[in-house]
Amino acid sequence: MTLLQLHEPGETPLPHEGEQTLAVGIDLGTTNSVIAFSALGKPEVLRDAAGSGLIPSVVAYTEHGPVVGSAAQARLVDAPETVVSSVKRLMGRGAADVKTLAGTLPYRFDAADGGMVRLLIGDRRLTPVEVSAEILRALKIQAEQHLGREVAKAVVTVPAYFDDAARLATKDAARLAGLEVLRLVNEPTAAALAYGLDKAAEGIYAVYDLGGGTFDISILRLEKGIFQVLATGGDAALGGDDFDHAIAEHWLADRRSELGSEPITASEAKQTLNSARSAKEALTQREAGDFPVMLHGKTTLHRLTRLALDKLIQPWVEKTIAICRQVVSDARLDLSEIQGVVLVGGSTRVPQVRRAVESFFGKPPLSDINPDEVVALGAALQAEALTQGSDTLLLDVLPLSLGIETMGGLVEKVVDRNTPIPVAKAQEFTTYQDGQAAMLVHVVQGERETVADCRSLARFVLAGIPPMTAGAARIRVTFQVDADGLLTVSAAEKTTGVEQRVEVKPSYGLSEEEMARILEESLEHGRADMERRLLIENRVEGQRVLLALQSALAADASMLDAGEAERIEKARLGLARAIEGEDRDRIKAAVEALEEAARPFAERRMDRAIRAGLAGHSIDEFKGDPGGCLAPDPEEEKL
């Protein structure tokens, strides 16, 4: 992953580069996913044999392997323990986040090892990234069957509020599915593109997105061809599913006297919900209908009118409007400044929802394009623009500010939200203790002033700072954000020229080994290709270790005794030779051998550095108090 990050920042594919393989647009939704392809500026949803463009974002792990879509959804009734739905909610999430979700998702988690959450399905321990990759793989296959060509690249959409970790997780999932992500695009931005708003006059637009389980409202400002996200809001637990529940409960209440105290089974509840969903969707076209509900072996028909439905869902519709009001006021906007409203999400087909949106914004919303397909269509247009060298290249902006922790748990913002990306910015910091030899750089994302209120992305130590008096060191921390909003951070001490470049991975990203393991397991995309990539990654890692050793020896060779020097040299030669060869296991083993041989040396160096810097402090104290390690430089400058 580190390797990929090295290659990707700011890279925009060259025009006409994608002619061998096709590039598509993908809306990877919580409830449904959609894939679309655009040629000559005309995007089209790729449908299955039955004409449906919506693939339920549901994966079932059967004894014959994973199944995606309606087939997986069907198993929710009989074997719910093998089925994963709504996995998007877990993308990029860590143990702490998941605690707040516990109970709202129907499967078991393991968040014990601190890093990425695992779903426990049978004897599998799956990361959300792997589950999402199954969905993407199914979409890719569907598209290839449809287009008769290989599909290898995609623009994938993500919610505007997705942070770095969630974006990276989405990218990893695509990579596992054999798709190169040309660009991650915000869902509301994609919807605006589908309506051609990028070609419109500059202005402010609202995107109202009510899906199956989530509600998002985004306010976009279009200016000089750039969509800025002025404000976002929403409710991660409000959507069409709530409408289904309201209908199902209404029906169950009808039959309560007859059912008595006997509880209904999980499978009956699921079937009732399915029926409620069909009823709701049918009433978008009709005024009333009779719908079957099977309970305790007996099926009865229940009448539902549009009027009754409106009343049942009223509280949720009102709640979305209250959130819109709040977001518009947070953005310090007057409703009259909003030029248009775009409807997104299957639940905006409900007539009452449309009426409520129209009445709040005071103008008829844009709704000519299918609301559940509009995001994928916009993504497809962007994919075409990126591969065919169109002039309507979209510039996106950073969704949330990035900064680092400074003394006292405060956040010093380095790159502000809404900065057009790709971007590189640097800021200088200094030490606050005499002789401080190392500092912990803690990278956070968010809008709030204190670390506790922001999201922690990564921590790394910049070690080997020569002893200086407090405030004399000039530590330049550089943030580089690529076109997908993904971040690489490096830090360097300037006055002495001690440079240390550290690639930062969000704490919840997959580790290199994990990614390799998963890649190895997935035989979808050319084994040889994959071997090659893994070999290269191992070589790069080997070279990194050799370089690190070289600089350590240059500085501190005197700390070695003869026997140790000999062991290290032998291991170094072994690694140098392994890198020349083609055997990545050998490289890996050689890296480990060298690290093992050099470990006592590295530990002595580290000890000395820390002792020099932190006389009178314990190491634990140092580790636990990153806030004490950085001080904003009074003479800071930005690139």
Degrees to nearest 5, angle at CA 279 with 274 and 282:
125
User: Residue 372 or 633: which CB sits closer to ligand ADP?
Assistant: 372
Where does this chain touch ligand ADP (CB under 6 A) — which range of 146-154, 155-163, 193-201, 277-285?
277-285
Distance CA 491, CA 29 (A): 37
Name which of 372 and 405 has its Cβ closer to ligand ADP: 372
Cβ–Cβ < 8 Å for 416, 229: no
- Element holding 565 (H helix, E strand): helix 562-580
481, containing H or E segment = strand 475-481
**Residue that the structure tokens 């002039």 belong to:** 391
Question: Out of Mg ion, ligand ADP, none, which partner does residue 373 contact, by CB within 5 to 8 A per kind?
Answer: none
Residue (284 or 450) nearer to ligand ADP, CB: 284
224 a catalytic residue:
no
Q: Which is nearer to ligand ADP, 191 or 394 (CB)?
A: 191
- Phi/psi of residue 278, nearest 5 degrees: -60, -40
Least Å from the CB of residue 37 to ligand ADP: 19
CA atoms of 375 and 449, how far apart (whole Å): 33
- Distance of closest approach, residue 209 Cβ to ligand ADP, in angstroms: 7
165 φ/ψ angles, rounded to the nearest 5 degrees: -65, -45
For 501, phi then psi, to 5°, come to -100, 125
Q: Which is nearer to ligand ADP, 343 or 465 (CB)?
A: 343
Whether 1 contacts 512, CB under 8 Å: yes
Q: Does 277 bind ligand ADP (CB under 6 A)?
A: yes
- The one catalytic residue in 130, 163, 198, 209 is 209
Residues touching Mg ion: how many (CB under 5 A)? 2
Tokens of 342: 């775009």
Region label for 94, one of left (φ > 0), alpha (ψ between -120 and 50) or beta (otherwise):
beta
The answer for residues whose C-beta is within 8 angstroms of residue 163's C-beta and 6 or more apart is 92, 399, 400, 445, 455, 457
- Ranges of H-type helices in 255-399: 256-259, 266-282, 306-330, 351-361, 374-388
Q: Is 69 in the site for ligand ADP (CB under 6 A)?
A: no
Is residue 130 near ligand ADP by the rule CB under 6 A? no
Which of 29, 66, 403, 464 forms a contact with ligand ADP (CB under 6 A)?
29
- Is 209 tagged catalytic? yes
Least separation, in Å, of the C-beta of 301 and ligand ADP?
A: 20
Inter-residue long-range contacts of 517-522, CB under 8 Å, 24+ positions, other chains counted:
518/127, 518/129, 518/130, 518/133, 518/176, 519/176, 522/133, 522/176, 522/178
Q: What is the DSSP string of 530-546?
A: HHHHHHHHHHHHHHHHH
Return the residues of window 194-213 that contact ligand ADP according to CB under 6 A: 211-213
Binding letters toward Mg ion, positions 358-377, x by CB under 5 A: --------------------
Q: Is 25 in the site for Mg ion (CB under 5 A)?
A: no
- Extract the tokens encoding 375: 């995001």
Consecutive H or E run containing 553: helix 527-556
**Which stretch, 68-76, 203-211, 266-274, 562-570, contacts Mg ion (CB under 5 A)?**
203-211
β partners of residue 455: 445
**319 catalytic residue (yes or no):** no
Cβ 630 to Mg ion, closest distance in Å?
39
Q: Is 9 in the site for ligand ADP (CB under 6 A)?
A: no
How large is the angle between the packed helices 584-613 and 527-556, nearest 10 degrees?
30
Residue 187 annotated in active site = yes
Residue closer to Mg ion (CB basis): 376 or 394 = 376
Nearest alpha carbon to residue 281 among 47, 52, 84: 52
Where in 548-567 is the site for ligand ADP (CB under 6 A)?
Answer: none
Q: From Mg ion, ligand ADP, none, which one binds at residue 613 (CB under 5 to 8 Å depending on kind)?
A: none
280 binds, among ligand ADP, Mg ion, none (CB under 5 to 8 A by kind): ligand ADP
The nearer residue to Mg ion, 29 or 92, going by C-beta atoms, is 29
Considering only the stretches 262-270, 297-305, 342-350, 619-627, report the one whose residues sit in contact with ligand ADP under the rule CB under 6 A: 342-350
- Minimum Å distance from CB 405 to ligand ADP? 35
| 40-59 residues near ligand ADP, rule: CB under 6 A | 54
Residue 29 sits in the site that holds Mg ion (CB under 5 A): yes
Q: What are phi and psi of 405, to 5 degrees?
A: -75, 135
Among 172, 198, 372, 405, binds ligand ADP (CB under 6 A): 372
Stretch 234-263: interaction string toward ligand ADP, x if CB under 6 A: -----xxx----------------------
Cα–Cα–Cα angle for 201, 205, 210, nearest 5°? 145
Closest CB to ligand ADP among residues 272, 388: 272
Nearer to Mg ion, 129 or 379 (CB): 379
Stretch that binds ligand ADP, among 1-9, 30-38, 403-411, 589-597 (CB under 6 A): 30-38
Which two three-digit tokens encode residue 5? Answer: 């990050």
Tell me how far, at minimum, the Cβ of 17 lies from ligand ADP, in Å. Answer: 31
Q: Which of 31, 272, 370, 427 is the binder for ligand ADP (CB under 6 A)?
A: 31
**Does the footprint of Mg ion cover residue 211 (CB under 5 A)?**
yes
CA distance 438 to 386: 43
Question: Both ends of the chain: CA-CA distance in Å?
Answer: 27
> Residue 420 region, left (φ>0) first, then alpha (ψ -120 to 50), else beta?
beta
Catalytic residue among 130, 172, 187, 493: 187
Q: Binds 240, which of ligand ADP, Mg ion, none (CB < 5 to 8 A, cut-off by type)?
A: ligand ADP
Q: Minimal distance in Å, beta carbon 345 to ligand ADP?
A: 4
564: exposed, middle or buried (C-beta count within 10 Å: 0-12, 13-18, 19+)? Answer: middle
List the catalytic residues: 27, 88, 187, 209
Which stretches of the chain bind Mg ion, using CB under 5 A?
A: 29, 211
Binding residues for ligand ADP, rule: CB under 6 A, are 29-32, 54, 211-214, 239-241, 277, 280-281, 284, 345-347, 349-350, 372
